[in-house]
A = this chain, B = another copy of it.
Amino acid sequence: MGVFIVDTSRSPYAKLRPVSMSDVKLTDGFWSPRLDKLVNVTLPTMYNLLEETGRIDNFRVVSGRVKGGFRGILFNDSDVYKWIEATAWALVNRRNDQLIKVLNDVVDIVAEAQLPDGYINTYFYHRLGERYRYLRQSHELYCAGHLIQAAVACRRSGVCVRLYNVALRLGNHIVDVINPSGLLAVDGHPEVEMAMVELYRESGDKRFLEEAVFQIESRGRGVLRNFRMPGSWDAGDEYFIDHKPLKDLREVPTGVHAVRFLYLMSGATDVVMETGDKALWEALSNLWVDLTGTRMYVTGGVGSRHEGEAIGEPYELPNDRAYSETCAAVANVMWNYRMLLATGDAKYADIMELALYNAALAGISLDGKSYFYVNPLANRGWHRRQPWFDVACCPPNIARLIASLPGYIYSTSSDGVWIHLYIASEAKVNLNGGIVELKVNTDYPWDGEVKVTVNPSKEDEFTIYLRIPGWSRGGKLLINGVEQGVELKPSTYLGVKRTWRSGDEVILRIPMSIELIASHPHVLANTARVAIKRGPLVYCLEQVDNPGVDVWDIVLKRTCRLEAKYVENLLNGVVVIEGEAYELRSQGELYKSLNDIRLSLRSIKFRAIPYYAWANRDPGPMTVWVPLIDYYGG
């Protein structure tokens, strides 16, 4: 038993086993303060908003403690559940008696709203005759899935056990109603698949796994057409991934809702880790290649269309009109983490890290109190984080991701320990009956030097798998101060196998150089533009750092000297990138014959900041992709 986000400790087709969050203590300057803020600021303010907007009262109405009807949008229960999940994870490493009390109160309120047969949904409580009739739009299993995930988190973290029984009763109710010889139904919004697999892992009850399999297998056969809610907006079968069975998909459906797609992928990956289904795995592998190879933002964000919050065609990745929903970035982390657990393949860790540090992290303000739903990669300055949304999926989603972060860092396999994310921390890892203490020291993401001190409970031979990031170039490995003659191959795990003794020290020295990133030429939005990247971080130019020139008019040359510099009192401490650039002075008209245009360049200095940190100061234009004058060469 342990506090696992995804418990693959007994999954027959998973390569990696999780390390309990409770055994990982962050000691870093980047994430640790974010966890503090989560507990001290984010989760309490979010609770207040759940109250103010009636989301918790909706449960009190069901139990009769408050009079009234349902308030808000039909999937609002899920916001409460995700807050519970986030709070449960967050409390594992942060003690906060007040928050524990609030959490237990909320769980009690939720539990009281469960109906005798196990069903719980504060919207459909008022229209029980419509239960499971409108699953194309009703989000009933989606909400149920979030409750189950919250309950599992509460149980594993030990902060509040009561919800687990609610989840078991709800899970059993769903299994009883929706099954091959019962109601043939799936949910318009995937989510319950992950939850059912996790409930199976937690309970050992195979029926929950079978339900997840049934959900995956039933999808893509037009089932949802039978569950359409009259008068509701409908985007077609592709949007719901109900046009084709998942196993037959080789490409991401254009127009699919990004979060639905990524939640389904996550749930299907969970299923594969339990069943070893090869056809399903093949589909997932192909879809991953298509998604990350043609339809993902340089930030790891997914979703290029406001219309339908959807994924677009291959290479359709507009910057100003990027949707890149925070939830989709969170889901991209979740999916890639599962793919990584299934295989131990570093390419999944690369995307997990990318989405985490850029697309997802941008979703929350530095003060922990406001959120992006949409994450454009270029903007004129009007797009700002909001304290809340009517559709409030993103705030608790980014909260649960950050809260569970300690669980993403390490894994084990039969032969050793894996380090996926370099975050200064201390971990106690169970390995073949013994305990290995690891102490990681690093200034990541600002610096690529990572020192790992190893303290096995007894001298033992095993492998430490060190992730060599896909963005790295070269670097060195030292063991106990001695440089090793090994090549650090990007996007692999470097296995260091030896008999480890207490105090052994491994140093990974990965240079973090500033890279200019170019796109496939069919990304029309990025023609002759580059993105600035350093280590795992994508940078952007924000107006407030560049007075006297509109950042949309800043252009680079290949020869521009750029340098990285840590600025402590900026944005809670960030490495900025500064250097030479030019202001393009061009035409003022919308269209003009090239012959009539006099372009001129003025030398300037510019500063770029990590993308995740934009829009935390004065509003103004921002851009990730910067024109490169000599893009095509000298």
Interface membership of A221, Cβ < 8 A: no
With the chains together, A552 CA to B314 CA distance in Å? Answer: 13
> Known contacts A293-B589, A590-B296: does B313 contact A380 (CB below 8 Å)?
yes
By the criterion of a CB under 8 Å from any partner CB, how many residues of chain A are at the interface? 62
9-residue interface stretch from A38-46, A207-215, A594-602: A594-602
Q: Are B292's CB and A590's CB within 8 A? A: yes
> Known contacts A233-B233, A321-B321: does B521 contact A586 (CB below 8 Å)?
yes
A524: B residues at CB distance < 8 A: 318-320, 378, 525, 552
**Per-position 1/0 for A306-337, Cβ under 8 A of B:** 11000011011011110000000000000000
Q: Are B594's CB and A530's CB within 8 A? A: yes
Interface membership of A633, Cβ < 8 A: yes
With the chains together, A515 CA to B233 CA distance in Å? Answer: 45
With the chains together, A597 CA to B530 CA distance in Å? Answer: 12
- Chain B: minimal CB distance from A455 (Å): 38
A307: B residues at CB distance < 8 A: 305-307
A516: B residues at CB distance < 8 A: 593-595
> Known contacts A318-B321, A521-B584: does B590 contact A558 (CB below 8 Å)?
no
- Chain B: minimal CB distance from A229 (Å): 11
Q: Identify A599's interface contact among B296, B306, B553, B632, CB under 8 A.
A: B632
With the chains together, A519 CA to B552 CA distance in Å? Answer: 14
> Known contacts A320-B313, A552-B521, A627-B528: does B231 contact A590 (CB below 8 Å)?
no
Q: Are B527's CB and A627's CB within 8 A? A: yes
> Known contacts A306-B307, A527-B527, A632-B629: does B518 contact A592 (CB below 8 Å)?
yes
Interface membership of A631, Cβ < 8 A: yes
Interface membership of A520, Cβ < 8 A: yes
A591: B residues at CB distance < 8 A: 298, 517-520, 531
Q: Are A523's CB and B233's CB within 8 A? A: no
How many of these chains are in the complex? 2
- Chain B: minimal CB distance from A433 (Å): 43
A592: B residues at CB distance < 8 A: 517-518
Interface membership of A588, Cβ < 8 A: yes
Q: Which residue of B lies closest to A631 (CB)?
A: B528
> Known contacts A318-B318, A594-B530: does B587 contact A520 (CB below 8 Å)?
yes
Q: Are B590's CB and A518's CB within 8 A? A: no
With the chains together, A586 CA to B528 CA distance in Å? Answer: 12
With the chains together, A632 CA to B586 CA distance in Å? Answer: 10
- Please report which residues of chain A, range 526-541, place their CB below 8 angstroms from some CB of chain B when the two chains form the complex: 527-531, 533
A631: B residues at CB distance < 8 A: 528
A632: B residues at CB distance < 8 A: 555, 584, 599, 601, 629-630
A630: B residues at CB distance < 8 A: 632
Interface membership of A126, Cβ < 8 A: no
Q: Are B292's CB and A517's CB within 8 A? A: no
- Chain B: minimal CB distance from A491 (Å): 12
Residues of A within 8 A of B (CB): 231, 233, 292-294, 296, 298, 305-307, 312-313, 315-316, 318-321, 378, 380, 515-525, 527-531, 533, 552-553, 555, 558, 584, 586-595, 597, 599, 601, 627-633
Closest 5 CB pairs of A and B: A528-B528, A516-B594, A307-B307, A515-B593, A306-B307
Q: Would you list 15 pairs from A and B whose C-beta atoms are within 8 A, ordered by A residue?
A: A231-B231, A294-B590, A306-B306, A307-B307, A315-B590, A318-B318, A320-B524, A321-B321, A518-B586, A520-B589, A521-B586, A521-B627, A522-B552, A527-B528, A630-B632
11 additional contacts (CB under 8 A) given A319-B524, A521-B553, A527-B527:
A233-B233, A294-B590, A517-B593, A518-B592, A518-B597, A520-B591, A521-B552, A528-B631, A533-B593, A594-B628, A630-B632
